[in-house]
Amino acid sequence: MTSQPEHAETASPPKSIGRPFALDPLFRPLTALSGIGPRNGKLLEKLVGGPKILDLLWHKPIDFIDRRYAPTLAEALPGKTATLTLRVEKHIPNTRRNLPYRVRCKDDTGSIDLVFFNAHKDYIEKNMPLGATIIASGKVEAYQGQLQMVHPDALGALEDKDSIATIEPIYALTAGVTNKAVRKAINSALPAVPCLPEWQDAAYFARQHWPVWDDALRTLHNPPGENGLSPLHPARARLAYDELLANQLALSLVRYRQRKVNGRIYNTNGPHRARVLAAVPFELTGAQKQSLVEIDADMGSDERMLRLLQGDVGSGKTVVAALSMMNAIDTGAQAALMAPTEILARQHAQSLKPWLDAAGVRFVILTGRDKGKARDLLLQQIASGAAQVVIGTHALFQDDVIFSDLGLAVIDEQHRFGVHQRLQLASKGKGVDTLVMTATPIPRTLTLTAYGDMDVSRLNEKPPGRKPVDTRLMSQDKLDEMIDGIARQIAAGARVYWVCPLVEESEVMDLAAAEERFDILQARFGDRVGLVHGRLKPQEKDEVMEKFARGDLSILVATTVIEVGVNVPEATIMIIEHAERFGLAQLHQLRGRVGRGGDKSFCFLLYSGPLSDNGKARLATMRDTEDGFLIAEKDLELRGSGDILGTKQSGLPTFRLADLSAHAELLATARDDARLIIDKDPDLKGPRGNALRHLLYLFERDQAIQYLRSG
Ligand code: ADP
Ligand code: MG
């Protein structure tokens, strides 16, 4: 994605103090394992997604090879993987380079050749000396009437038989790391796995017939045949539940803390609200009014608000945010609005300006771009309260940003901020109310993992005047026809967004693709075409967007930067190249840029074939519906939870052991469980509470514990 959040790494977790000693072996670096040095350690770290032994232990097998079949040669079935006990009879070195070295072996019932290409003689003589008894495991084949095994997967001496003739787990790998190396590392890590106090609810645990934690981990890596890979296998289900419980408990703790600090009672529906309402040039939709009723109820009570305002692109969240902020202003407090990117922050400021001006509310914008004297001046205005509304990015988190009296934090997050970042802003005032706005229509299950039991207001009704967008799928081969069609539309005054594909998530490559398309279109349409991408300075970006908004440009070629909230009601055509490379949620967001004015709008999804069945189904979903929630559900179904909605980019929590398409029920249980825990033992002081602390540290949700501490 081209528009990156500012300072994505700012919120580094507080130092992990108080971690139970029992967990230490799991938090040692991979290099503490024998045979893992700095070099292969780096590769292994990349593979397992983290530097510590626990990361390795959570790298779960994706398949297995059953080597328990140990027949005599007379019984051995060609085509099957077998573990054979053999006597080395004869070495038959190759006579030419491209021929194999053969090692003829026997047992009491027959003979077989072990076949090696490019073999080192030393290696063979050392591992398979004449007369020795060896164990060879691999696929048995019949070749010209003779049994053979090409490059056995495993070779050993007789005493290795028990360790070879097992079910061998197969792991996802990366260049430079073999399955054997992963297994070896895991096998040397497993003995150090501590036995931990049980954090599951005793009754539930007994009903599930789950293994204890360390047993579950051992079983994970020694799958007992086929069903050992099933997400519903007791060992895997247990580990998945642990992860979901850690997620839900951390969210519940945070929420409990936030609730415990008394909120303030804000004056709702006061004079500033009235002035903004008078300046808004449209009637609020029913959904907007309802959301405001809910927000006012929260803000008017002494409980702290923690509310999610969920609404599709274009559903009109901004005005709801503005009207909510007026409650703070009418109480003499300040309000902050934080966006994930600079461009979004500026757009918010632009949308709010007329309303804030009309209400006589002073506001400032603070982003990472502000430096030196200019920044100092802004900080002063924030600290003195001269700035009543502060609009900004991550820059608002910085320690030297001190509010005179922050009352409401509105976070337009598009999933890019984490829970503790939200808290960080809320901690800049006393009893700050928080409203989180999100445009990604995520399914209920995901809302739960990202926000826990937050209160939710939904803008499920679009502002009037929005027409359905006619969505069509087209092969990329038809590009020329497409351009001819566009030429006619432009001549008739149409305005067109032209989105270029995401190439391997590389900004440089994205840009090349967009520039190439720009050149081609410019050759035909001259200065009616503009280009906007993430490398432009914000000011340059704004200029191009502005020209498009004014109608000085007919075609705006863009990388995905336009995803973030531009509003040009006159644009009626959206073209997305290589649509198959985008996530459904992203396509939905992009399409939401058109159909905002009075004219009929179109969205062309260009794909380059051949598409997989899944790819076809995904694009068909886009063609058939504009309901963001339906699209999100479909996305979950078609992609599995591995990369729902491009979770990696979106900042939604990702799970290592849980798979939301298989473990949705466990998630619901974990939510209820977390709620009960908080009811009974909010400080996690009892025996189960103590065990649960282990769990939170295990999943690095210990920030929740830090909050507990500072409570
Ligand atoms: P979101 O942030 O939810 O994507 P915006 O707040 O940017 O949506 O609103 C999209 C557009 O719809 C804006 O031009 C806004 O002024 C307009 N709008 C919002 N609410 C209404 C309404 N009730 N009636 C008509 N237009 C509205
Ligand atoms: Mg918006």
Specify whether 405 is located in the same domain as 542: no
Does the beta carbon of 313 lie inside 6 Å of ligand 1?
yes
Mark whether 422 and 479 lie in a shared domain.
no
Decide if 697 is inside a domain: no
Select from 575, 591, 625 the last residue of a domain. 625
Q: Residue 640 C-alpha to ligand 1 middle, in angstroms? A: 32
The ligand placed nearest to the CA atom of residue 355 is: 1
pLDDT of residue 506 exceeding 90, the answer is no
Q: 312 alpha carbon to ligand 2 midpoint, in Å?
A: 9
Residue 9 φ/ψ region, left for φ over 0, alpha for ψ in the -120 to 50 degree band, beta for the rest: alpha
Shared domain for 394 and 496, answered yes or no, is no
Question: How far is 274 from 276, CA to CA, in rounded Å?
Answer: 6
Distance CA 520, CA 487 (A): 13
Atom nearest to 592 CA in ligand 1 = 4
Q: How far is the centre of ligand 2, averaged over its atoms, from the C-alpha of 119 (Å)? A: 64
For 334, phi then psi, to 5°, come to -105, 160
| 363, 349 contact by CB (below 8 A) | yes
Residue 261 located in a structural domain: no
Instruction: Please give the distance, rounded to the nearest whole angstrom, from the Cα atom of residue 586 to the centre of ligand 1.
Output: 19
Is residue 407 in some structural domain?
yes
Does a structural domain hold residue 571? yes
| Structure tokens belonging to residue 159 | 């005493």
Distance 415 CA to ligand 2 centre (A): 13
Residue 377 included in any domain:
yes
Q: Name the more confident of 510 and 51.
A: 51
Domain count for the chain, please give it: 3
Q: How confident is the model at residue 448 (pLDDT cuts 50, 70, 90)?
A: confident
In a shared domain, residues 395 and 293: yes
Q: Is residue 117 part of a domain?
A: yes
| pLDDT tens for each residue of 177-189 | 999 899 999 999 9
- Between the CA of 463 and the centroid of ligand 1 the distance, in Å, is 7
567 lines ligand 1 (CB under 6 A): yes
Lowest-pLDDT range of 182-196, 323-337, 378-392, 489-503 = 489-503
Q: Which of 280, 411, 567, 588 to mutate to test the pocket of ligand 1 (most atoms within 8 A of CB)?
A: 567
| Nearest residue to 42 (alpha-carbon basis) of 31, 58, 33, 53 | 31
If asked whether residues 414 and 475 sit together in one domain, one would say no
Cβ of 414 closer than 6 Å to ligand 1, yes or no, is no
Q: Considering 136, 165, 194, which residue would you say is the last residue of a domain? A: 165
Return the ligand 1 atom nearest residue 318 CA: 6
pLDDT tens digit sequence for 113-149: 999 998 888 889 999 999 999 999 999 999 888 999 9
Determine if ligand 1 sits within 6 Å of the CB of residue 441: no
Q: Tell me the residue range of the domain where 147 lies.
A: 68-165
Residue 290 lies in a domain: yes
Nearest ligand to the CA atom of 321: 1
Q: Tell whether the model's pLDDT for residue 642 goes beyond 50.
A: no
Contact 54, 698 (CB under 8 A): yes
Residue pLDDT, tens place only, 566-603: 678 899 999 999 898 887 877 888 898 898 877 889 99
Give me the pLDDT at residue 595, please: 86
Say what the pLDDT of residue 419 is.
Answer: 57
Domain boundary pick from 139, 165, 191: 165
User: pLDDT exceeding 90 applies to what percent of the chain?
Assistant: 59
Same domain, 475 and 567: yes
- Is the pLDDT assigned to residue 619 strictly greater than 50? yes
Tell me the CA–centroid distance for residue 324 and ligand 2, in Å: 15
Q: Is residue 231 part of a domain?
A: no
Under 8 Å between Cβ of 47 and 182: yes
The DSSP letter of residue 108 is: T
Which residue is closest in CA terms to ligand 1's atom 15? 316
pLDDT given at position 394 = 85
Do 384 and 474 belong to one domain? Answer: no
* Alpha-carbon distances of 105 from 88, 89, 114, 129, 589, rounded to whole Å: 5, 5, 7, 11, 64
